[in-house]
Amino acid sequence: MTGAGRTTAPNSNGLALFTDLYELTMLQAYFEEGLHAPAVFSLFVRRLPQRRNYLLACGLDTVLEQLEGLRFEASDLDYLASLDRFSDRFLRWLEGFRFTGSVRAVPEGTPVFANEPILEVTAPLPEAQLIETLVMNQIHLQTVQASKAARLVTAAGGRQVVDFGARRMHGLDAAVKGARAFHVAGVTSTSNVLAGKAYGIPVSGTMAHSYIQAHHDESEAFAAFARLYPETVLLVDTYDTLEGVRRVIQLGDELGDDFRVNAVRLDSGDLGALARQAREMLDDAGLQQVGIFASGGLDEYAIGDLLAQQAPIDAFGVGTSMGISTDVPDLDIAYKLAEYAGEGRLKLSSGKPILPGAKQIFRRHQDGLFAGDIIGRQDENQPGEPLLQPVMREGQRLPAHTRDLDVLRSHTAHQLEQLPPSIRAIEPADTPYPVSVSPALQAHQDAVTRTVRARYAASGQGTHGGNAND
């Protein structure tokens, strides 16, 4: 580590033990066997789910921050010692553990496809191995979330989408990181106050049924809330949606020019029909400026249906479907050794091919749209924009890597505009986005496969009493 550009070492983030036990048992084996040559690991998604024409890479910022703060604390080492599997020598080595490797990655908010490396780590084998669980967990989560959110934003066709998912998302971390991933993907704001504080995301919210219920009179509740928050959104479906709208209009009559309510919120029933009736009632009352906000079990398909029937809805609150990505809550993500000690590596397990070595994605542009990708070797030249960029070197984040959410949002919006329309669409594309492997990478994979096969065939006659290979 050079220390350049950093004045103080980050504190431990308490995440060194966020790893699978086998990473640590392997680390001790690497330590004992002296296996600490540079390794390259690739993180990629093996195949796209049927309901995703593309994925939106997300989570890199989190990962870089977490790698910078990875330390084994005294209590971590005490715990590991209590497991009776680790030697004192190894635990002392862990005490000094730092991530000193390099990371190349696709920028957050960039569409990626099957087998394309979202990031590649180059580091001494034990370092690259230890971080597997953490890196996969964070990139998987946020890529799942951003990919889903982009579909909702697309379906909403320019109308605001607001994140209401915190209550049903899978835990605290998912809810906070999700709010950020959604915002990167184009979601306007979040109801999650902690996420607002953590990332500076705009926060928004209306009122709950319990507020109305705590009053004896819905009209009184509306009046009291609008007195305190003149530009609020009033929830009208606690007892009878259209009667609720009538009471909002009545409040408008009473307040006259002081009536500045922004919108009514519909949260149940036939949202399309209710929105049309509410719109008509509001317009008839001269309240054209009062918008209609819809929520309640919405996903991209429901939003698409509502807009196809021209429901006059101005904004959508989306919770569970986006928060958990309920239709595709997981991706077949993998973090695989691709090179060790300068040699390409792969496994031959059925149906799970690995592209060996450090790689690059080259994306061709044509007529303002993405026209196809080539996955090549890192050091080759192919036509198109190289997507993987250096973001961390010697364990330190590079200054070029942006953390500004507004910049990321603009980048993402511009990226999504460049997707071919059939790929950006909600429905499965008839033809997948074209991704090919370069001849050089294919030749490398063939050569490595031949070498691995030949070595495998030649070995297996015993352990030769030998040790590791480098």
Q: Tell me: does residue 374 bind a second copy (CB under 8 A).
A: no
Phi, psi (5° rounding) for residue 468?
A: -70, 175
- Residue 412 has a CB neighbour count (10 Å cut-off) of 26
Q: Which is nearer to a second copy, 121 or 375 (CB)?
A: 121
Minimum distance between the CB of residue 26 and a second copy, rounded to whole angstroms? 5
Minimum distance between the CB of residue 214 and a second copy, rounded to whole angstroms? 5
Minimum distance between the CB of residue 212 and a second copy, rounded to whole angstroms? 7
Q: Tell me: does residue 18 bind a second copy (CB under 8 A).
A: yes
Instruction: Map the footprint of a second copy across residues 344-373, applying CB under 8 A.
Output: 345-352
* Contact pick of 6, 9, 92, 269 for a second copy (by CB under 8 A): 269
Task: For tokens 């709208």, name the residue.
Answer: 245
Q: Tell me: does residue 99 bind a second copy (CB under 8 A).
A: no
d(CA 43, CA 67): 15
Q: Please answer whether residues 318 and 152 qualify as being in contact, where contact means their C-beta atoms are separated by less than 8 angstroms.
A: yes
Q: Tell me: does residue 251 bind a second copy (CB under 8 A).
A: yes
Q: Tell me: does residue 337 bind a second copy (CB under 8 A).
A: yes
Q: Which is nearer to a second copy, 215 or 411 (CB)?
A: 215
Q: Which is nearer to a second copy, 8 or 463 (CB)?
A: 463
Q: Tell me: does residue 208 bind a second copy (CB under 8 A).
A: yes
Look up residue 241 and give its amino acid. Answer: T
Number of residues that bind a second copy (CB under 8 A): 124
Q: Tell me: does residue 308 bind a second copy (CB under 8 A).
A: no
Instruction: Map the footprint of a second copy across residues 222-241, applying CB under 8 A.
Output: 222-225, 228-229, 232, 237-240
What sign has the CA pseudo-torsion 378, 380, 384, 385? positive
Task: Give Cα separations from 358 to 32, 83, 263, 264, 375 (angstroms).
Answer: 27, 36, 53, 54, 11
Stretch that binds a second copy, among 46-54, 168-176, 303-311, 377-385 (CB under 8 A): 168-176
Q: Tell me: does residue 144 bind a second copy (CB under 8 A).
A: yes
> In 309-368, which ranges are continuous DSSP H helix?
320-323
Minimum distance between the CB of residue 69 and a second copy, rounded to whole angstroms? 13
> Which regions of 341-451 does DSSP assign to beta strands (E)?
343-344, 359-366, 369-377, 385-386, 389-393, 396-397, 435-437
Q: Tell me: does residue 427 bind a second copy (CB under 8 A).
A: no
* Contact pick of 1, 6, 217, 414 for a second copy (by CB under 8 A): 217
Q: Which is nearer to a second copy, 195 or 423 (CB)?
A: 195
* Contact pick of 94, 106, 166, 391 for a second copy (by CB under 8 A): 166
Partners of 42 in the β-ladder = 120, 336
Q: What is the DSSP letter of 463?
A: -
Which has the closest alpha carbon to 170: 390, 290, 387, 330?
330
Angle at the Cα of 155 from the Cα atoms of 58 and 308, rounded to 5 degrees: 175
Minimum distance between the CB of residue 238 and a second copy, rounded to whole angstroms? 5
Please name the helix (run of DSSP H) or strand (run of DSSP E) that holds residue 160, with its range, or none.
Answer: strand 160-163
Task: For tokens 């605290």, name the residue.
Answer: 172
Q: Tell me: does residue 83 bind a second copy (CB under 8 A).
A: yes
Instruction: Map the footprint of a second copy across residues 29-68, applying CB under 8 A.
Output: 29-30, 32-33, 35, 39, 41
